[in-house]
Amino acid sequence: MSGAGIILSRRAALGGAAALGVGLLPGRIGGIAHAGTGRIPGDTAIRAAAPIAPAERLARIARVQAAMARAGVGALLVEAGSTLRYFTGINWWRSERLTAAVIPVEGPVAIVTPFFEEPSIREMLAVPGDVRVWQEDENPHALVAGWLRDLKLAGRPVAVEETTRFFAVDGLQRALPDVRIGSGAALVNGCRMIKSPAEIALMQRASDIVIAAYRATAPQVQAGMDGAQIFQIMRGEIARRGGETPSGGVEINEGSALPHGSRERQTVREGSVILMDCGCTVDGYHADISRTFVFGTPDRAQREMFANVRRGQDVAMAAARIGVPAGQVDDAVRREYERLGYGPGYRLPGLSHRTGHGIGMDVHEPVNLVHGETTPLQPGMCFSNEPGLYAPGRYGIRIEDCFYMTDSGPRYFSEPPPSLDDPFA
């Protein structure tokens, strides 16, 4: 989708899709769901959010250009992907044909794209820029090199956004043999790690949509369903509320003990642990939320593990303070779990993965809440908080809620549920 954002008609909103100005959509109809889902709120607020404005994208370009000047960099090469969208509004896919932006240390950006894609690229370009095209029998890397020569930047270092593919870098080096190429990760991450109020509002809306979809999906789960069937329900509930690119999966029974799932098909039965890890985007910004519940009545051990996972989330939030190295959040959770008899470290039964990851226009982006990460927490940083616990061969429980840092500490996008008896409250 382009930087123009989401605009839906009132008719579409009344039909179930969420328009940007809508305040409330039904989370479910009815009162108490079957045992295991607890009491689910009848209405769920979905807050409004405006698309990213062109002025904000221009401010981003100015910020990265200032960082480039300080680093002595002449230009930044950004291939199609989330960073291209972040700076220019162009939401494009990667193929064997190069579409990329070259951001100079001064002046407007240049977009290089195939000739036949130019009309689409110009429609999405949300900032002033020079669009240069190449024909199918021409070398797009020579076009990039020529643009650098035109701006007298060919003799200065070129930084490359870290996910840019090798063929783009190799092609530029062949077209401009004396070019000095370095990593642009610090330049890009220095901008993208700190979210603006507009970005946070979009992530809040995405989170609200996913929470509402969870509350609508849970009562529809039936015995005999597998994870794919449950996710299809969730996907539809997300889309009905205006969420874009529904993503994730559902793991059941022993499969829930594997953080990213099992190939073995499991089905719902009485006492099944069901772990749902789902998300969506709004104007390119992600929500990533996990919920775990039991089909039927949870037993004592399941309730205890759920309570311990929730304890880990609370410990993470208490440790997340401005100026604290991000890795110390993970350390605090791991110490608590070791005190409870899990681990030690990343061993099982216990928490085998990091406590959380950065999130924004990518569902996983720098920096992570992981042991050894020294980047200090700053206002505007956004993270997942997901300290799951896993008992191989039995089940696993993960609760994931994302948060953002403010001057006074962390603030949740979605509030964690209180207990396994109310896993969607």
Q: What is the CATH number of the domain that holds 275?
A: 3.90.230.10
CB distance 282 to 206 below 8 Å: yes
**Which pLDDT does position 166 carry in this prediction?**
98
Residue 384: domain span: 196-412
Of 161, 192, 223, at which residue does a domain stop?
Answer: 192
**Which pLDDT does position 260 carry in this prediction?**
81
Asked whether residue 310 is assigned to any structural domain, the reply reads: yes
Of 145, 160, 192, at which residue does a domain stop?
Answer: 192
Examine the domain organization and report whether 161 and 233 are in the same domain.
Answer: no
CB distance 284 to 1 below 8 Å: yes
**Which pLDDT does position 261 carry in this prediction?**
76
**Which pLDDT does position 262 carry in this prediction?**
80
**Which pLDDT does position 40 carry in this prediction?**
86
Asked whether residue 19 is assigned to any structural domain, the reply reads: no
Residue (of 314, 306, 271, 293) closest to 391 by Cα position? 306
Examine the domain organization and report whether 388 and 313 are in the same domain.
Answer: yes
Contacts 24+ apart (CB under 8 A), 143-148: 143/112, 144/77, 144/100, 144/102, 144/112, 144/171, 144/172, 144/175, 145/172, 145/175, 145/176, 145/179, 147/102, 147/110, 147/112, 148/74, 148/75, 148/102, 148/176, 148/179
CATH for 125 = 3.40.350.10
Full-model pTM: 0.90
**Which pLDDT does position 16 carry in this prediction?**
32
Examine the domain organization and report whether 215 and 68 are in the same domain.
Answer: no
Examine the domain organization and report whether 307 and 377 are in the same domain.
Answer: yes
**Which pLDDT does position 34 carry in this prediction?**
52
Examine the domain organization and report whether 148 and 273 are in the same domain.
Answer: no
Asked whether residue 18 is assigned to any structural domain, the reply reads: no
Radius of gyration of the chain (CA): 23
Examine the domain organization and report whether 355 and 206 are in the same domain.
Answer: yes
Asked whether residue 123 is assigned to any structural domain, the reply reads: yes
Bridge partners, residue 282, by sequence? 285
How many Å apart are CA 126 and CA 58, to the nearest integer? Answer: 9
In the block, which residue shows the tokens 């009132």?
A: 10
**Which pLDDT does position 1 carry in this prediction?**
32
Low-confidence ranges of the chain (pLDDT < 50): 1-33, 35
Residue (of 118, 102, 119) closest to 110 by Cα position? 102
CB distance 273 to 397 below 8 Å: yes
For residue 202, with 0-12 CB atoms within 10 Å meaning exposed, 13-18 middle and 19 or more buried, which class applies? Answer: buried
Q: What single-letter amino acid sits at 131?
A: V
Examine the domain organization and report whether 147 and 163 are in the same domain.
Answer: yes
Asked whether residue 2 is assigned to any structural domain, the reply reads: no
Asked whether residue 206 is assigned to any structural domain, the reply reads: yes
Other Cβ atoms closer than 10 A to 258: 16
Examine the domain organization and report whether 401 and 305 are in the same domain.
Answer: yes
